[in-house]
Amino acid sequence: MNWTDERVEKLKRLWAEGLSASQIAAQLGGVSRNAVIGKVHRLNLPGRAKSGGGTAPARTPKRPAPAPRPSGFAARIPTRANARPAGGAMLKEEGQTDVVEAVRAVTSSNVVIPISRRLGLTELTERTCKWPIGDPMSDEFHFCGCESLDSSPYCSYHAKLAYQPVSERRKAER
């Protein structure tokens, strides 16, 4: 992705708004958070001096001659890249009436409805609830975004809505 003027402007704006690099990368799309951070530095934008959470105050620039690099050989162990093309379309016709029923059943129970984080499609990670909220055609559309447990695509609340056996559902309705 090229850093067009518009993308750079958006980067500046979002960075100024205090969004994290990864979130900015998600909104821009096609770039990693590292790219965003690198660009921020290159633009001489003010870093996050010392915010309460997650900022490195000031590191001692140490450069201990990492390792002799024989030409043509990389002696490094790649930990893990962070790139995920997002699950793609996940909305389907899934018996909307059933969902409505389930919602009614669960909400009438003692389940606490989670507070939505109103995440955009690109901001979803592997551990955020991907339950869609609102009309996909509307700009109000977003995702639950709550913490999903045990690698489930949904949070505890929406998991109950998503995976309800008929028997369970009947029981819940009673």
Partner DNA sequence: CCCTGATTCGC
Partner DNA sequence: GCGAATCAGG
Pick the closer one to DNA by CB: 57 or 165: 57
Size of the site for DNA (CB under 7 A): 40
Rg (CA), the chain: 22
User: From CA 58, how far away is CA 69, in angstroms rounded?
Assistant: 28
Per-residue binding string, DNA, 8-47, x by CB under 7 A, is -----------xxxxx-------xxxxx-xxxxxx----x
Contacts for 99 with CB less than 8 Å, ≥ 6 apart: 161
Helical residues (DSSP H) of the chain, grouped into ranges: 5-16, 21-28, 33-42, 96-107, 156-162, 166-173
Q: Which part of the chain contacts DNA (CB under 7 A), choosing from 49-57, 92-100, 102-110, 152-160?
A: 49-57
CA 4 to chain centroid = 24
The only residue of 5, 17, 63, 85 in contact with DNA, by rule CB under 7 A: 63
Does the protein bind DNA through residue 84 (CB under 7 A)? no
Residues that bind DNA (CB under 7 A): 1, 3, 19-23, 31-35, 37-42, 47-48, 52-59, 61-63, 66, 69, 76-79, 81, 125, 127
